[in-house]
Structure 1
């Protein structure tokens, strides 16, 4: 057995780890001072090996039973391995040895929060606040607990406290943006970030979050300006480039968006979402070969990215390769089975392939998943009408109107079906309802049934509503 020799604080942590592993191999007992043990524990924690780290803690506690730091480490490791009861016991021991150590109460608050013992958690964090020299992280922890409880207003209150203590706490900045988003308080968010930037005009995170708030309000030009400031301050800020690209897409500036998306490649490896976004831009520009190549790059990186599989289908559909497009739509649907857009595309492809039974079923699924999609209701009822299922077409439009009472197009379509069924008086009633909803859209009636232009009763009713 080695002599009890205490290595000083300057000891190389790597050497301490090697000595420790040698001790384990030799089944011996070496002595380490507290700093050496801390270094060994941290080494295994950094390697994401909590089991070995806990073994080291056991040795440390046996050699230094009155050092609170090892009970703290033990508690952290028990928490990581979901042994919350044992973690709290370890913290109680640490508190007995060193009741003025603020980290004890901070860690305890986090564990109690995970156990949804919120009142105890808040009391523990309040105690940590009393002892803290730099309380910003504790305010952040309290805010996160309020988030977990669903109390976002209180979370905002504590996040602002956090930023008053440390304006550079970026976690707090991003969490604040999240809370404003959940509460749909984008105007308040903009007000806060403007004030924040007045105090710290070189905060790239502040400008970025301001851009996101503008984006959510569809104020895309202002969002782009904010993203540009973020990029000016931090030129490798890939997320700002990506979101700027999204804003440009919303302004239909697809070529510019492609260039901005590509700039992200200079600062981070190309990701599936970025490839997919570029593919969508090329799709909007009707450059389908380019679009398809980027969608393929996306699925090569991430086979679970449903939008990219769907995008490949869209490009093939555009080229009237409906059978091939259907294959890719189905791959997207396998990943997101309740996506109404995918069902709609499948319904349309089935219809074009004359697979009318399957098209009907697919449209039925679309309107079930998204009952406010007027186009889906119209297309679904149109198939029924074409297939001489007139009663079902009328029932379908009636259901559509129930879900979309302001949808003028639905009333006009109902007029067409009722006239086809010989129900003229009922048809005229629906015509009046459609004209009351939106008289300008009455032309859709004639587009669907051009022969109605010569119907005197119809034209007389329309004249009453038109200037």
Structure 2
């Protein structure tokens, strides 16, 4: 590829400067060359070299405004805001129409969280600048700092009107629309943008994402198709397209798109997992299992991979294999509530009730407060005859579900079992109030209690009220 004259000159300046540093000979550079060299080192994060270049530059060009503005930028970078401000005021006295002075003043205000003042200064810069896009972009960023998404959006749109190719502004516009829950407005905006810039793969990709977000999957796929036609190595667009195909239950097309992502880059655990899911839905169990195994091999810490294998075997009713994999998962992460719940459920299916009780206890301990988890745990405690523990667990559950009839019926049943009739009637009364028809739970879970005449009379009495 041919380098432009500008690029060649820039590379020559850089190598000439680095050669000077090695030989300690002082060579002459014009002020613009120095500016480019300093900014190059700043961009590379080589602050020491940037400072060395600036010192030499100011020795050779002590009156250069451009170099002094670079000096301001470096002072701001080092948080020496008072020094930077003093130098800017000196420059302002010499060149009051230099837009860069206002931009740097705004930068200092921004660092001090004076974002409204920064916007005022940037609006003055607009009067003197030729680069409107850059200033509008900076104004947009200040509004983002102030959480004024509407004004930020407006500024980024103005930036794009000046420079259609500004990708960061395009991303920021879409971010603002999404944050403001204006997905349809964002779609309309991107369609207009694409009319002006039809070969922007970023715009097509963002349009696809937005269509996906509002469940317009066919339109999403069309947009992702354009993105991948423009850039046939656009990994993100292939990934999103695969997800949209999945939503439409077009699993073969989804697999094709996931495969393309693997061709473009190393296989991700996410793509492997989704391919496994697609193959399972197509009824190809062998390939599903192959990809699930590859998923956990690729990323042993991805819980979704272990869960996919475990659930696969649960659906096959192969509980021995399911238990084997959930135990492997727990050996890697024994604080994962999703693993513990599956451990409990599988053991329950295999009639290992003590292990199941332990699993549900651990699931709750690590943050699973779902109603079904509490109830499964309590029912196993009851089955094991641990009525007191079951009651304590239900009382804990009632803190999360204070008006849940299933909790109240169980408490009533357990208190009747312990012949604490006062508490039993209190909870039965609550349960009947919350859902009268569900009294059948007593018959299912506590047949001994259900057979009591006193309980039958209490329910009948409640029905008449």
- Specify the TM-score bucket, using the shorter chain as the normaliser: 0.7 to 0.9
Contact in 1 for aligned 2:239/2:258 (Cα 8 Å): yes
CA distance in 2, matches of 1:381, 1:113: 57
- Give the unaligned 5+ runs of structure 1: 1-7
Change (3 A) 1:52 1:257: same
Contact in 2 for aligned 1:45/1:53 (Cα 8 Å): yes
Aligned position for 1:290: 290
CA distance in 2, matches of 1:31, 1:345: 72
Offset from partner CA, 1:195-214 (integer Å, 9 cap, x none): 43045343543443343334
**Which of 7, 12, 27 is 1:15 aligned to?**
12
- Aligned to 2:145, the other structure's residue is in SS state helix
Q: Does 1:326 align with 2:323?
A: no
Instruction: Report the CA distance between 1:63 and its aligned residue.
Output: 0.7
Q: How does 1:354-369 map to 2 (within 5 A)?
A: 354-355=354-355, 358-366=358-366, 369=367
**Which of 171, 175, 178 is 2:175 aligned to?**
178
Instruction: Report the CA distance between 1:276 and its aligned residue.
Output: 4.3
Q: Does 1:191 align with 2:188?
A: no
CA distance in 2, matches of 1:81, 1:312: 52
Q: Does 1:389 align with 2:386?
A: yes
Change (3 A) 1:126 1:355: same
CA distance in 1, matches of 2:217, 2:452: 47
Instruction: Report the CA distance between 1:141 and its aligned residue.
Output: 2.1
Change (3 A) 1:26 1:237: closer
Instruction: Report the CA distance between 1:52 and its aligned residue.
Output: 0.7
TM-score (norm 1): 0.75
Change (3 A) 1:28 1:144: same
- Aligned to 2:172, the other structure's residue is in SS state helix
Instruction: Report the CA distance between 1:55 and its aligned residue.
Output: 0.9
Instruction: Report the CA distance between 1:70 and its aligned residue.
Output: 1.7
Instruction: Report the CA distance between 1:61 and its aligned residue.
Output: 1.1
CA distance in 2, matches of 1:106, 1:122: 10
Instruction: Report the CA distance between 1:229 and its aligned residue.
Output: 4.6
Offset from partner CA, 1:260-294 (integer Å, 9 cap, x none): 22222344444444334435545666555323333
Contact in 1 for aligned 2:337/2:363 (Cα 8 Å): no
Contact in 2 for aligned 1:419/1:427 (Cα 8 Å): no
Q: Does 1:105 align with 2:105?
A: no
Offset from partner CA, 1:424-443 (integer Å, 9 cap, x none): 7556545545647xx7x888
- Aligned to 1:14, the other structure's residue is in SS state helix
Contact in 2 for aligned 1:377/1:400 (Cα 8 Å): yes
Instruction: Report the CA distance between 1:101 and its aligned residue.
Output: 2.8
Change (3 A) 1:63 1:343: farther
Aligned position for 2:272: 275
Aligned position for 1:5: none
- Aligned to 2:96, the other structure's residue is in SS state coil
- RMSD, aligned α-carbons: 4.4
Contact in 1 for aligned 2:119/2:139 (Cα 8 Å): yes
CA distance in 2, matches of 1:443, 1:226: 54
Q: How does 1:331-410 map to 2 (within 5 A)?
A: 331-332=332-333, 340-345=337-342, 348=345, 354-355=354-355, 358-366=358-366, 369-371=367-369, 373-404=370-401, 410=407
Contact in 1 for aligned 2:270/2:295 (Cα 8 Å): no
CA distance in 2, matches of 1:229, 1:10: 32
Change (3 A) 1:277 1:445: farther
